[in-house]
Amino acid sequence: MRNSSALPPRARILIVRLSSIGDVLHTTTVVHNLRRLAPDAEITWLASPPASTLLETNPDIDRLLVFDRRPIDEAGAHLRLRTCWRELKKARALLAPYTFDITLDLQGLFLTGLLTRLSKAPRRIGIHERHEGNPLFMTEMAPDIPDPHKIRRYYTALAPLGFPQETLHPGPVLCLPPALSGFAADFWAAHGIDAARPILIVCVRTTWPDKNWPPARFGEALRAVPEQVQIVFTGAKGDRPFIEEAQRAIGGARPSLSIAGETSLLELAALMKSAALLLTGDTGPLYIAEAVGTPTLSLWGPTSPAIYGPLTSGHTFIESPYPCRACCRTHCKKKNNACMAAIAPADVAEKLSEMLGRC
């Protein structure tokens, strides 16, 4: 594989990182550093909805190309090869008007390898991640490193361009559009929330079932939240039954609000920015909160903050005491989700009281 450290002036660089929310925000750190180190580069990003919406006002990229990976994922799962081919033709047409000198594949899938090849860049740099045949589409691979954290591993893609690991400045980038400048104040007022009092946003669900802490445990932990703190649950529409379970567990004497399904990702980011704290599992809103500077308390079982957690300050982790935690499996081998269940509500309540006491 060819490996040249020369980065040409005004290099035309394509970033391929389609999803997910947390990983796209991790990748914004890499792209921000690339922009800082190569200010004259022309940077294009190929991303997929819904995470692509977080990049619409990103100041570090010159162009956002949106390719919806969901149809090809569904077709691939059902071996609908004709549909896969049709979707790849769409991707090829999307990329065709542009010329790239370098493509960085920061996802490491077979699909992203194909898309990287369709970019026609003479240099195509991959990272040591999932692979799935991905290296077959690369002209070179970034160096492997022992550090497990995703941001630092993604950052290795800049090493072949002459930028050493020591130049990394951690921290995701998420810029809200001017249209959302007054959104939070209006939203809270319309929902009976006093923006002058502390707001605790709670996310009870994640995209992996085995990363979920039981909703009743959330409710039990939230009983200890100081009275002046307002509790607001967020999530998708499908999360509403789980939120209702958590609300019942809090008890009727303590009011709370659910806004599940009422906001876009950028609107949620605007609300996060006005909150005192986010309580969540390892899921997209955790990284949105980090990006807008909101402190977080996050709960970890099958995944580890040493791999995925925020690298910036202001974030507290509670890890499961279960022996086989941090297995990184999407489904529990023992099928009982014991690692998340092992997190005690009393421990979460104590940490919430400590963090909210600073408000």
Same domain for 208 and 340, yes or no, is yes
Same domain for 153 and 299, yes or no, is no
Instruction: With a cut of 50, say whether residue 1 has pLDDT above it.
Output: no
Answer with the one of 114, 142, 167 that is the final residue of a domain: 167
Answer with the one of 144, 167, 190 that is the final residue of a domain: 167
Instruction: Give percent of the chain above pLDDT 90.
Output: 87
Domain contains 31: yes
Phi/psi at 124 (5° precision): -130, 115
The token pair at 280 is 């969540």
Pick from 34-38, 219-223, 326-330: least confident: 326-330
Same domain for 96 and 123, yes or no, is yes
Domain contains 196: yes
Mean pLDDT of 256-261: 97
**What is the widest separation between alpha-carbon atoms in the chain?**
66
Question: Contact at 8 Å (CB) between 352 and 202?
Answer: no
Return d(Cα 176, Cα 179) in angstroms, integer.
8
Mean pLDDT of 54-82: 95
pLDDT in tens, 304-324: 999 999 999 999 999 999 888
**pTM for this structure?**
0.94
pLDDT of residue 329: 81
pLDDT of residue 2: 38
Same domain for 122 and 193, yes or no, is no
Overall domain count for the chain: 2
Same domain for 160 and 193, yes or no, is no
Mean pLDDT of 211-221: 96
Instruction: With a cut of 80, say whether residue 333 has pLDDT above it.
Output: no
| CATH number, residue 78 | 3.40.50.2000
Helices (H), the chain: 21-37, 70-77, 81-95, 110-118, 150-155, 183-190, 215-222, 240-250, 265-273, 284-292, 305-308, 338-341, 345-356
Q: Which domain holds residue 21?
A: 12-167
pLDDT of residue 334: 73
Same domain for 78 and 149, yes or no, is yes
